[in-house]
Amino acid sequence: MSATQFTPGRDVLRPARTELPEEEMEPEAAYRLIHDELMLDGNARLNLATFATSWMEPQARALMNESLAKNAVDREEYPQTAAMEERCVRMLARLWHAPTPDTCVGCSTTGSSEAAMLAGLVLKRRWQQRRRASGSACGRPNLVMGANVQVCWKKFARYFDVEPRLVPLETGQYHLTQERLARYCDQNTIGVVSVLGSTLDGSYEPVDRICAALDALEGRTGMDIPVHVDGASGAMVAPFLDPDLAWDFRLDRVVSINASGHKYGLVYPSIGWAIWRDTETVPEDLIFQVNYLGGHMPTLGLSFSRPASQVAAQYYSFLRYGRAGLRRAQGRCRAIAQALAAEIATIGPFRLLSDGSQLPVIAFCLAPDTDNFTVFDVSRTLRERGWQVPAYTLPKNREDLAVLRVVVRHGFSGELAQLFLDDLQRVTDQLAKQAAPANH
Ligand SMILES: Cc1ncc(COP(=O)(O)O)c(C=O)c1O
């Protein structure tokens, strides 16, 4: 296009398109347009907010490219992708100590959120079956969990008509514990969700003590309440770094576990996993038999089509790293998180809520006497250097507390951690001079 075709004026500015264009454009032009706009997105590697993997090796990327055109649901057409998915399920079932790892039910999902929906549905259906079998009325089902649960559980409750019973947080304790649990459970409780690695501060809930409290409750009342473990992050960390911690199917009361492959499973978004203790745990009517793509295909899932590339990438991560490599990768994240936490604690106004010794996550707040800036100011100012560090208030009963959170992931090197610390120190020195908070 020649320069003479442009007349000076506002017309040279182009608003983003919200209508399907009439005409085609050259692929290179379309690529440039979109590529340039995407440069305005934050840099994924400097995003310390997300738990999602933002770096994979070139070999994993190559495999993902090779599988881009495949749909994971076409099991008959892509039997090897299906076989790899199945192998991942078996590996996870073993890792999480399922009593019958070769036969228990499990599937890949679109992240932990879909896994949570499925696990919640299984809990609800099992409760309905139990109530009907005993001739009892089915009232409104409820699901008991800490107020710290990730939003996917609140979504599950609302979408599938279950009352969410959120146990409020207490001072110094930012997740569900066993103490007040029994008060929230009754005949209509379909299950308790326990989180291994709270989204808010990375702390592990005491799954074993929660199960023991429910054992005691059963002893007193006869109510047998199952536990689902939301191990979105922790189920891929604890088996390698805390092998003696019993949080999984070693506890009889745990009926299902979910994890995000795209968090500490070291795969780009989006893939998750859900595994049930054994075949009997999943009611048959939740499993669909689909045969129109050829072959006989049992499916469990909310969506149908899903990318096969994520399955290949998960299988790559498992094969490539193995137990030793995952122990090293997660151990390195934890070591960096703990070192970072120790340094943050020395920067005047910060107080740690968690120190990276469970999930490699650090949550920290400002000392109560800091009145001229807020964590929101810190978050906003760090953004000027490209760091994305979220600031938020805690849920019920601790809404007064606003925190910053840093998630240390695979690919966040010691060098980057030091650069982050230097910037955090600079930002804090700068904000200390400001007269009054700018962001709330
Ligand atoms: C504890 C927990 N559960 C569930 C989720 C939702 O996971 P996903 O993003 O894989 O759907 C998250 C996400 O951060 C989480 O931290």
Ligand 1 atom closest to the Cα of residue 199 is 16
DSSP 7: P
10-residue mean pLDDT profile of the chain (440 residues): values are 65 86 95 94 88 95 96 89 94 97 93 97 96 90 97 97 94 88 96 97 97 98 97 98 98 98 96 95 85 63 93 98 98 98 94 96 94 95 94 87 95 95 96 87
Choosing among 1.10.10.60, 3.40.640.10, 3.40.50.150, 3.40.50.1240, the CATH entry for 60-317 is 3.40.640.10
pLDDT of residue 236: 98
Instruction: State the CB neighbour count (10 A cutoff) for residue 57.
Output: 15
Contacts of 328 (CB under 8 A, 6+ apart): 321
Non-local CB neighbours of 412 within 8 Å, separated by 6+ positions: 45, 48, 333, 336
Q: Are strands 272-276 and 254-260 parallel, antiparallel or unpaired?
A: antiparallel
How many distinct helices (H) and strands (E) make up the chain? Answer: 10, 13
* Ligand 1 atom with minimal separation from the 116 CA: 4
pLDDT for position 257: 98
186 C-beta neighbours (distance < 10 Å), count: 14
Find, among 395, 438, 364, 386, the residue nearest to 151 by Cα. Answer: 395
Q: Which residue has the tokens 């990318």?
A: 307
Which atom from ligand 1 is nearest to the alpha carbon of 51? 14
- Residue 234 Cα: closest atom of ligand 1: 1
306 φ/ψ angles, rounded to the nearest 5 degrees: -150, 155
Q: Determine the residue of 53, 114, 150 to mutate for testing ligand 1's pocket, defined as the one with the most ligand atoms within 8 A of the Cβ atom.
A: 150
C-alpha distance across the termini of the chain, in Å? 49
Element housing 193 (H / E): strand 189-195
- Reported for 314-317, long-range contacts at CB under 8 A and 24+ positions apart, including other chains, are 314/84, 314/88, 314/108, 314/261, 314/265, 314/267, 314/271, 315/84, 315/85, 315/87, 315/88, 316/59, 316/60, 316/63, 317/56, 317/60, 317/261, 317/265, 317/266, 317/267
For 19-30, what is each residue's pLDDT tens digit?
999 999 999 999
Handedness of CA 315, 123, 100, 102 (dihedral sign): negative
CA of 28 to the centre of ligand 1 (A): 36
Q: Which residues line ligand 1 (CB under 6 A)?
A: 51, 111-113, 150, 152, 195, 199, 230, 232-233, 260, 272
The rounded distance, in Å, linking the Cα atoms of 353 and 404 is 10
Long-range Cβ pairs for the range 181-187 (8 Å, 24+): 181/144, 181/210, 181/213, 181/214, 181/217, 182/213, 182/216, 182/217, 184/144, 185/144, 185/214, 185/217, 185/223, 185/225, 186/142, 186/223, 187/131, 187/136, 187/139, 187/223
What pLDDT, on the 0 to 100 scale, is given for residue 4? 57
Q: What is the dihedral of CA 429, 432, 437, 440, to 10 degrees?
A: 50
The pLDDT value recorded for residue 277 is 96
Delimit the domains of the chain by residue range.
Answer: 60-317
CA–CA dist 344, 32 (Å, integer): 41
